[in-house]
Amino acid sequence: MKIIVCIKQVPDAKDVRLDPETNTLAREGVQSIMNPYDQHALEEAVRLKEQLGGEVTVLSMGPPQAVDVLRQAISCGADHGVLVSDRAFAGADTWATSYTLAKAVHKIGDFDLILCGKQAIDGDTAQVGPGLAIQLDIPFVTCVQKVREASGTELVMERMMDDGYDVVAVSCPALLTVVKDLNEPRVPSLKGKMKAKKAEFKILSAEDIGADSSCIGLPGSPTQVVDVFPPPPRGERAILTGSIEEQIEQLVEKLAVYL
Amino acid sequence: MLIVDSELCIGCGVCEDNCAFGAIEVVDGCAVVSDACTLCGSCVDSCEVEALKIEGGEKSVQVDLDSWKGVWVYCEFRAGALAPVSLELLGAGRKLADARGVPLSAVLIGADTGESAEKLIGHGADTVYRIDNQALTYFTDESYGAVLTDLIKAHKPEIVLAGATAIGRSFIPGVANSLGAGLTADCTQLDIRADDGALLQTRPAFGGNIMATIVCPSSRPQMSTVRPKVMQALDFDEARQGEIVDVAPDPASLQTKVRVLESVISEQDNVNIQESDILVAGGRGLDSEKGFKLIRELAASMDGAVAASRAVVDAGWIGYPHQVGQTGKTVAPKLYIACGISGAIQHVAGMQSSETIVAINRDEDAPIFDVADFGIVGDMFEILPLLISKIEGKRGS
Ligand SMILES: Cc1cc2nc3c(=O)[nH]c(=O)nc-3n(C[C@H](O)[C@H](O)[C@H](O)COP(=O)(O)OP(=O)(O)OC[C@H]3O[C@@H](n4cnc5c(N)ncnc54)[C@H](O)[C@@H]3O)c2cc1C
Ligand SMILES: Cc1cc2nc3c(=O)[nH]c(=O)nc-3n(C[C@H](O)[C@H](O)[C@H](O)COP(=O)(O)OP(=O)(O)OC[C@H]3O[C@@H](n4cnc5c(N)ncnc54)[C@H](O)[C@@H]3O)c2cc1C
């Protein structure tokens, strides 16, 4: 089975805090990490490869330093990594990102399955997976929480819904987006780390993937961010005082409107 | 691309202070842009000497914007019922439609929808497009997506709203992508811009750490998914008039490659925590599955639902659908009570937009108190039973 996993490099949430003085995201020394959901997508891909044979290619769009997450993916069992990187991609919304990734997938060639995270923890939209499937004209299933059966040609899985889950079947090629419940990602093995150290990555520009310049980056994006501002501040916090009984009394009073 | 005119730049640093992404920095007296730039344009507006500009900004393929008219709401119907967010969106859609002087339409897709269309009219819709077909009993991205895409192409609405639910966040991105339309995720505020009637879509990003306002200047329809619980539904008005238009789906759109074998509705708990007004959330401080029972009891005493930190879900005391946070669900109930939860940033990201937050923790330095409106420092095993009986007493009387 030929599997492509889409991986985004994101700032670590621990470090992304709004500076109350300047109202900007303090990003100094911020660590970049592999998007947490993508770790689960990668793990599932590697398990499917171990079960059914085949290979796993990881794909990322981002600045040159995004090769770090590809390298990490190799250490966790991926076979190849491809980075699409070009200043012309800057400002891409989810439409332009899906278009760019689709072009890169065509460049990579044949595949049976594409795995994405449910959403990236920075942009938070959960739109790239479905968008990529539409661009590639393949079926997709979002929020997969369990793969029940997998053969080289068909998958049966559970997709998380708001009120439970649906059991669905799909033939390959298909695209899945995954949630955290799917699996427990492995830690890199020593052998994996050695392999990652030596790994070389294909870096593709907009021209290399044959992208139409009006479909990438800001010009290719139907949405545009026109304003960025801090969320409304929360009111003053209040730690209640008094004996436990008194505190509970006060709390129930404060919450009366909800009871 | 963001271009800095080094002749004009005076190195004042205003742009640096204005950039929420830390993507611009003054080096040797001139602004320098890094890869973190999202081209949001804040710095361009802030620059007093006009040294910054964004080049190549306009999408080259423009659609004829004026030929798109009307506001649409996709009204989710699953397992025999309308999702509450559908009615909330009709409330929001009504305001937008009135501001634009255009009609408000609802799209109802499903099987055996009964009186739902009449209900949508009573809650504000002028027209309901009803696609009621046995083949649409189960949600699939392909069939629901094809039906909605065909309707949008035929009627050309300027705005399409949908709930940011599991279903909405799954198939709406596919619809937007195939239409080449812009889609803003998880909106919490919608307004019409006075100058040109464009839809201003405001949403949290970066785990709720920043808010962004987004427009779709040159494509139609303008599409948004909107969080449950933020918009106000209109009261049902029986006298309100509207038209129900039954639409037969194109048989081709009912053919799907994804087959639903079974739909399992969880009976055990109220798992749809995003639709609950009151959430009681438990953390590792509960110590054990048995301890976690207190959370269920407190929730039951207030008719709320149960939520949990990741630590609790990982320990198996409750299922993943109850997890709140960055890798779980984002919730914004009226009341969120966090018990024995430390308040790690990944947890807070999922609940900080709640209206009122209560924290109960024995560690007075726990970061959860930083986002709490009311906090009690103490031992939960002592506090919760007292709180439950107090609430039961109050509600009983
Ligand atoms: C503040 C802010 C708000 C924004 N709001 C919107 C919006 O509402 N609508 C919109 O269209 N765009 C929006 N964008 C742009 C959006 O963040 C980018 O298009 C981004 O490249 C992809 O979106 P995401 O991070 O939400 O990814 P998601 O769609 O959440 O990602 C889902 C999955 O897709 C894959 N994936 C995503 N990006 C990449 C990548 N670069 N390389 C490889 N795989 C990837 C991963 O598997 C990931 O888990 C916003 C940007 C900012 C800065
Ligand atoms: C990539 C990533 C994604 C993550 N996503 C999520 C997510 O989606 N959601 C999430 O919740 N976490 C997430 N986490 C984990 C997060 O970082 C924390 O580890 C987790 O939230 C801790 O859970 P907790 O607060 O229940 O436990 P702890 O941090 O162990 O806190 C327990 C608290 O209980 C208090 N306590 C103990 N006993 C008592 C008592 N008797 N009475 C009163 N108080 C008591 C303690 O003082 C302590 O504050 C993520 C982490 C990573 C790295």
pLDDT of A177-234, one tens digit each? 999 999 999 999 999 999 999 999 999 999 999 999 999 998 999 999 988 888 877 7
What pLDDT is stored for residue A114 in this prediction? 98
The per-residue pLDDT for A27 is 54
Cβ distance of B174 and A141 shorter than 8 Å: no
- Count up the domains in chain B and report the number: 3
Query: Is the CB–ligand 2 distance for residue B202 below 6 Å?
Result: no
Chain A residues 78-117 within an 8 A CB cutoff of chain B? 87-88, 90-91, 93-95, 98
- Is B138's CB within 8 Å of A228's CB? no
- In chain A, whose CA is at the least distance from the CA of B142? A139
The amino acid at residue B293 is: K
Q: Looking at the predicted structure, is the pLDDT value of residue A174 above 70?
A: yes
**Residues B118 and B41 reside in one and the same domain:** no
Q: Find the A93 Cα to ligand 1 centroid distance in Å.
A: 7
Would you state the pLDDT for residue B23? 85
Structure tokens at B365: 């330095």
Residues B246 and B275 grouped into a single domain = no
Nearest to A251 by CA among B278, B356, B334, B300: B356
Q: Is residue B60 part of a domain?
A: no
Alpha-carbon gap, residue A8 to A177, rounded angstroms: 13
Residue B43 lies in a domain: yes
CATH number of domain containing B219: 3.40.50.620
Average pLDDT over residues B197-205: 95
pLDDT band at B19 (very low <50, low <70, confident <90, very high): confident
Interface of B with A in 222-241 (CB under 8 A): none
Q: Give the position of tokens 């009311």.
A: B374
CATH of the domain at B19: 3.30.70.20
More confident residue, B36 or A128: A128
Shortest CA distance from B60: residue in chain A: A214
Asked if residue B284 belongs to a domain, the reply is: yes
- A231, B211: Cβ pair inside 8 Å? yes
CA diameter of chain A? 70
Residue range B91-120: average pLDDT?
A: 98
Length of chain A: 259
pLDDT above 90 for B314: yes
Q: What pLDDT, on the 0 to 100 scale, is given for residue A18?
A: 56
Residue A20 has pLDDT above 60, yes or no: no
pLDDT for residue B21:
79
What is the structure's pLDDT at B42?
A: 79
Structural domains in chain A plus CATH codes: 2-227 (3.40.50.620)
Q: Identify the burial level of A227 via C-beta atoms within 10 angstroms of its C-beta, where 0-12 means exposed, 13-18 middle and 19 or more buried.
A: middle
Q: What is the pLDDT of residues A34-93, one digit of tens each?
A: 999 999 999 999 999 999 999 999 999 999 999 999 999 999 999 999 999 999 998 899
**Nearest ligand (C-alpha, residue B359):** 2
Query: How many angstroms separate the CA atoms of B285 and B384, rounded?
Result: 12
- Report yes or no: B102 and B70 within 8 Å, Cβ to Cβ: yes
User: Residue B372 has what pLDDT?
Assistant: 94
Residue B358 domain boundaries: 268-396
Q: Are residues B293 and B349 in the same domain?
A: yes
pLDDT at A29: 61
Q: Are both B49 and B95 inside the same structural domain?
A: no
Residue that terminates a domain, selected from B196, B226, B254: B254
* Tokens, residue A87: 């200043």
Whether residue B240 sits in one domain with residue B98: yes
Spell out which residues of chain A touch residue B3, defining contact as CB-CB under 8 Å.
none
Q: Which of B223, B254, B285 is the last residue of a domain?
A: B254
| Maximum pairwise Cα distance, chain B | 75
pLDDT band at B395 (very low <50, low <70, confident <90, very high): confident
Cβ–Cβ < 8 Å for A10, A27: no
Residues A95-153 pLDDT 10s:
999 999 999 999 999 999 999 999 999 999 999 999 999 999 999 999 999 999 999 89
Q: Mean pLDDT over residues B151-173, rounded? A: 97
Q: Does some domain include residue B335? A: yes
Interchain contact, B40 vs A16, CB within 8 Å: no
Give the end of a domain, one of B32, B54, B76: B54
Query: What percentage of chain B exceeds 70 in pLDDT?
Result: 97
Q: Examine the pLDDT at B228 and tell me if it is beyond 70.
A: yes
Q: Are residues B316 and B392 in the same domain?
A: yes
- Summarize pLDDT for A135-151 with one digit per residue, the tens: 999 999 999 999 999 99
Give nearest CA residue, ligand 2 atom 26: B283
User: Residue B4: CB within 6 Å of ligand 2?
Assistant: no
Tell me what the mean pLDDT of segment B347-370 comes to: 94
CA atoms of A147 and A142, how far apart (whole Å) = 12
Beta carbon of A122 within 6 Å of any ligand 1 atom: yes
Partners of B2 on chain A (C-beta within 8 Å) are: 90
Q: Is residue B133 part of a domain?
A: yes
Looking from the CA of residue A62, the nearest atom of ligand 1 is: 41
User: Quick one: tokens of B375?
Assistant: 């906090």
Query: DSSP characters for A233-256?
Result: PP---EE--S-HHHHHHHHHHHTG
Question: Is residue B83 assigned to a domain?
Answer: yes
Tell me, yes or no, whether B263 lies in a domain: no
Q: Which A residues 174-203 touch B at CB under 8 Å?
A: 174, 179-181
Among the atoms of ligand 2, which is closest to the Cα of residue B326? 8
Q: Which residues of B touch A14 (CB under 8 A)?
A: 345-346
Residue type, B120: L
Which residues have CB under 8 Å from B246's CB, separation 6+? B130, B131, B132
Q: Give B364 to chain A, closest Cα distance, Å.
A: 9
With CB atoms and an 8 Å threshold, state whether B320 touches A180: yes
Q: Which two tokens stand for residue B133?
A: 């077909």
Residue B149 contacts residue B183 (beta carbons within 8 Å): no
Provide the token pair at B37: 């730039």
Same domain, B48 and B187: no
Q: Is residue B102 within 8 Å of B222, Cβ to Cβ?
A: no
- Residue A248 pLDDT > 80, yes or no? yes
- B242 & B333 share domain: no
The atom of ligand 1 lying closest to the CA of B206 is: 1
CATH code for the domain of B365 = 3.40.50.1220
Q: What is the per-residue pLDDT for B266?
A: 81
If asked whether residues B230 and B304 sit together in one domain, one would say no
User: Does a structural domain hold residue B262?
Assistant: no
pLDDT band at B51 (very low <50, low <70, confident <90, very high): very high
CB B189 less than 6 A from any atom of ligand 2: no
Under an 8 A CB cutoff, do A124 and B218 touch? Answer: no
Q: Provide DSSP, B264-303.
A: EE--SS---GGG-SEEEEE-GGG-SHHHHHHHHHHHHHTT
Same domain, B223 and B184: yes
Q: Which residues of B touch A146 (CB under 8 A)?
A: none
**What percent of chain B has pLDDT above 90?**
79
The pLDDT of residue B60 is: 47
- Compute, in angstroms, the gap from residue B382 CA to the centroid of ligand 1: 45
* Cβ under 8 Å to A: B residues 335-354: 335, 345-346, 349, 352-353
Rounded CA-CA distance A137/A154 in Å is 17
A230 prior amide bond cis, ω within 30: no
Question: Residue B396 above 90 pLDDT?
Answer: no
Mean pLDDT of chain A: 92
Same domain for B162 and B238?
yes
Question: Between B159 and A218, where is the model more confident?
Answer: B159
Residues B385 and B274 in one domain: yes
